[in-house]
């Protein structure tokens, strides 16, 4: 075993929450102010401007992909945003089609089932959707379609553009969970016919957990039914207050301050550069683990590809007998990674490059996994893995 790993700084490679910078942490230490003060309104204005930039300019060219819309910062994590989107656009008489190929697609479906008549288009976790089956499920009676763009539980990037086209052709509204893609990968609002997009602070935006964001595209406001939604999630009310740089209820002032700084960091890097960095680092993880002889978990085929922000890898059979030993060996090196969720627990491990990692941290992640595998008896070539990752970087 390596002892020197204990002297290295803690490295958080879980797919959320992700590390935050010293400047972001420091922003939360300022004296408290009222959430109805002009000081807070200035913070909200910075947050909204940053969210507008991220939602609207997540392309490799930096071009805008929205003809108009409104960003909203919410006092709750992204699950609140997912429910708010569904509950404001659907009711007991509505028909919702929910696409499920992982934990968070399933969460969207469970939310929809509480508010509307929901039909699931479901495939095994880690597999791709058949767009012909999706097309058959979406009919002229469909009011709303929900989908996860980057399925964190499996490390897959789903075909939002194709599903958005199908939803638009049927006259249905399209709500997308962009929780682990917005701020780290390409996301095109108008091009993909996205009516409401959801993201979270604690993922690619590299902000502490506790708040999230929505983007309501132009023309959707008139269809929102705030009174039919949970009181706290009335989006009509949120839109009105956002016009005055406020939220309807007491805002998490320190978290908004942190998000304002984090979003300004995103703008300083620029979305084209940020997307390319995430893609390069994800490729380094993929190639590094492959060079060690480890198998990727998702079988990305058809319109589905592997994620550029979360990498999922199958645990070798010998490790599955005692996965805790492997994760303990990773932890001994002062690194944290994630296992599988739900029925994938003990079958996979997952690492994240969401946020603002430098390349040396990615290489350390690859090296740590290789060393931990050897600790538990798996004959991997750690040096080859690190070298393959370095070549990608």
CATH number, position 352: 3.90.1150.10
Residues 227 and 351 in one domain: no
Other Cβ atoms within 10 Å of 153 Cβ, number: 27
Select from 269, 289, 310 the last residue of a domain: 269
The CA distance from 362 to 19, in Å, is: 13
Model pLDDT for residues 127-163, shown as the tens digit of each residue: 999 999 999 999 999 999 999 999 999 999 999 999 9
Q: What is the mean pLDDT of the chain?
A: 96
The mean per-residue pLDDT over the stretch 305-325 comes to 96
- Comparing CA positions, the residue from 150, 168, 166, 169 lying closest to residue 158 is 150
Residues 42 and 120 in one domain: yes
The mean per-residue pLDDT over the stretch 161-183 comes to 98
Model pLDDT for residues 207-240, shown as the tens digit of each residue: 999 999 999 999 999 999 999 999 999 999 999 9
Q: Domain of residue 121: give its range.
A: 22-269
Model pLDDT for residues 250-278, shown as the tens digit of each residue: 999 999 999 999 999 999 999 999 999 99
The CA distance from 127 to 344, in Å, is: 13
Q: Please, which pLDDT band fits residue 7 given cuts at 50, 70 and 90?
A: low
Residues 172 and 299 in one domain: no
The mean per-residue pLDDT over the stretch 103-114 comes to 98
More confident residue, 366 or 301: 366
Residues 196 and 55 in one domain: yes
The CA distance from 47 to 319, in Å, is: 44
Q: Please, which pLDDT band fits residue 302 given cuts at 50, 70 and 90?
A: confident
Residues 262 and 289 in one domain: no
Select from 253, 269, 285 the last residue of a domain: 269
Say which residues have a Cβ less than 8 Å from residue 136's Cβ, sequence separation at least 6. none
Q: How many domains does the chain divide into?
A: 2
Give me the count of residues in the chain.
393
Q: What percent of the chain is predicted at pLDDT more than 70?
A: 98
């Amino acid at each position: 075993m390596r002892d020197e790993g204990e002297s290295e700084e803690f490295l958080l490679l879980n797919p959320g929450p992700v590390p935050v910078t010293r400047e972001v942490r420091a922003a939360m230490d300022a004296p408290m102010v009222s959430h109805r003060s002009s000081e807070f309104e200035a913070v909200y204005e910075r947050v909204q401007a940053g969210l507008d930039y991220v939602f609207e300019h997540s392309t490799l060219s930096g071009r805008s992909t929205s003809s108009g819309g409104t960003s909203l910062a919410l006092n709750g994590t992204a699950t609140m945003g997912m429910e708010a989107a569904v509950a404001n656009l659907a009711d007991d008489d509505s028909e919702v089609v929910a696409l499920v190929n992982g934990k968070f697609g399933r969460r969207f479906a469970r939310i929809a089932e509480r508010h509307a008549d929901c039909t699931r288009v479901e495939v095994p976790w880690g597999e791709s959707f058949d767009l012909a089956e999706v097309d058959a499920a979406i009919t002229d009676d469909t009011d709303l379609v929900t989908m996860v763009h980057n399925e964190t539980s499996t490390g897959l990037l789903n075909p939002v553009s194709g599903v958005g086209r199908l939803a638009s052709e049927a006259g249905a509204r399209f709500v997308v969970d962009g929780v682990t893609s917005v701020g780290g990968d390409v996301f095109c609002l108008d091009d993909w016919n996205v009516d409401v997009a959801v993201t979270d602070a604690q993922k690619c935006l590299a902000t502490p957990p506790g708040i999230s964001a929505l983007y309501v595209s132009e023309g959707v406001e008139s269809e929102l039914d705030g009174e039919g939604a949970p009181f706290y999630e009335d989006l009509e009310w949120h839109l009105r207050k956002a016009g005055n740089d406020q939220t309807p209820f007491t805002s998490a002032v320190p978290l908004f301050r942190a998000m304002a700084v984090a979003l300004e960091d995103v703008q300083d890097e620029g979305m084209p550069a940020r997307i390319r960095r995430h893609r390069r680092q994800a490729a380094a993880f993929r190639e590094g683990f492959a060079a060690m002889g480890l198998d990727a978990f998702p079988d990305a085929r058809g319109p589905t590809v592997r994620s550029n922000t979360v990498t999922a890898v199958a645990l070798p059979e010998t490790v599955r007998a005692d996965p805790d030993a492997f994760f303990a060996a990773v932890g001994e090196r002062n690194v944290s990674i994630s296992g599988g969720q739900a029925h994938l627990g003990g079958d996979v491990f997952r690492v994240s490059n969401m946020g603002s990692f430098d390349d040396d941290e990615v290489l350390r992640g690859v090296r740590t996994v290789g060393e931990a595998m050897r600790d538990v008896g798996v004959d991997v070539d750690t040096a080859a893995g690190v070298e393959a990752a370095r070549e990608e970087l």
